[in-house]
C-alpha cells in the first residue's frame, strides 16, 4: 500500500515559523489536519518597520536602468 502524501511538510512548518518570528507572533500551532495557526499579539499586527535606510528605498544603478529600459546595446 503506497504512503499517503503529507498534509504539511517540514518546509511548510519552517516557513511558517520564520514568518511568525518576523511578525512577532507568540505561538505557532500545527494541528492534526495540517492546519498551521499563528497567534499574533495586538502590537505585532502592525507592519514591520524597515531595519535600515536601505530597506526603505531602492533605485537601480544606471546600467540596470538602461537594461530595463532597453536602451543598452551589446
Per residue in 22-40, pLDDT tens?
888 888 888 888 888 888 8
E runs forming strands in the chain: 27-30, 36-39
The DSSP symbol for 39 reads E
Buried b / exposed e over 5-16, threshold 16 CB at 10 Å, is eeeeeeeeeeeb
Mean pLDDT of the region 34-49: 71
Question: Parallel, antiparallel, or unpaired for β 36-39 and 27-30?
Answer: antiparallel
User: Between residues 65 and 13, which one has the greater pLDDT?
Assistant: 13
Tell me what percent of the residues of the chain surpass a pLDDT of 70. 72
> What is the value of pTM for the model shown?
0.50
Question: Strand, coil or helix: what is 27?
Answer: strand
Amino acid at each position: 500500500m503506497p504512503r499517503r502524501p503529507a498534509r504539511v511538510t517540514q518546509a511548510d512548518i519552517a516557513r511558517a515559523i520564520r514568518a511568525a518570528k518576523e511578525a512577532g507572533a507568540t505561538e505557532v500551532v500545527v494541528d492534526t489536519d495540517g492546519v498551521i495557526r499563528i497567534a499574533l499579539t495586538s502590537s505585532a499586527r502592525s507592519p514591520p518597520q524597515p531595519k535600515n535606510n536601505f530597506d526603505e528605498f531602492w533605485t537601480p544603478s544606471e546600467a540596470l536602468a538602461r537594461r530595463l529600459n532597453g536602451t543598452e546595446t551589446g
